[in-house]
């Protein structure tokens, strides 16, 4: 479909489904105020989020606000994620070195798997953020990947993929 603005309305029109060429829906119109309120409400709704997902989201936001702690260790935050298949843990992924302007230089991906408890997600995220930012993350993280010559950076290559263990 195509979303456009027509005066004080938002219009959904031109529905397309390549798998079903006969698919046809009528144009839908919403007042701009109604549409913007619903988009805002949907963006703030976290009722679908499971506890580990909430911890991952909150921890990533907290770490991104404090990326200066990674500069000391020449790392960058790649992401924090959770899987519904692993409701009791989250994963933190870092890149080293942080600015890889030259793609031919060696690089590493560090990862950490952190346990999640039944405590409130905001409390857990705050505690994990304090723990992670207290020191060099490379000291507690594992090498999860990198370039073929990454051992030049002084870290041993992992014997197996830690996420497959």
**Region 55-83 average pLDDT:** 92
How far, CA to CA in Å, does 83 sit from each of 75, 109, 146, 156? 24, 19, 23, 27
- pLDDT, tens digit, 9 for 90 and up, residues 5-29: 999 999 999 888 888 888 888 999 9
Question: pLDDT at residue 165 above 70?
Answer: no
Lookup: tokens for 67: 């990326």
Q: How many CB atoms lie within 10 A of CB 132?
A: 23
List of long-range contacts for 9-16, beta carbons under 8 Å, 24+ apart:
10/35
Question: pLDDT at residue 81 above 90?
Answer: yes
pLDDT-derived band at 156 (thresholds 50, 70, 90) equals confident
CA distance linking residue 95 with residue 128, whole number of Å:
19
């Amino acid at each position: 479909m195509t979303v456009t603005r027509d005066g004080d309305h938002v219009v959904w029109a031109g529905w397309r489904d390549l798998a079903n060429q006969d698919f046809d829906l009528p144009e839908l119109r919403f007042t701009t105020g109604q549409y913007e309120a619903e988009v805002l409400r949907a963006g703030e709704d976290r009722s679908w989020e499971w506890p580990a997902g909430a911890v991952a989201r909150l921890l990533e936001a907290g770490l991104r606000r404090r990326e200066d702690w990674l500069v000391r260790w020449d790392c960058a935050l790649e992401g924090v994620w959770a899987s519904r298949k692993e409701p009791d843990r989250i994963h933190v992924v870092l890149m080293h070195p942080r600015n890889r302007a030259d793609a031919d230089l060696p690089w590493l991906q560090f990862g950490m798997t952190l346990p999640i408890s039944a405590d409130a997600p905001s409390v857990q995220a705050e505690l994990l953020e304090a723990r992670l930012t207290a020191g060099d993350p490379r000291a507690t993280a594992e090498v999860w990947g990198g370039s073929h010559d990454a051992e030049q950076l002084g870290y041993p290559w992992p014997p197996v993929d830690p996420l497959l263990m």
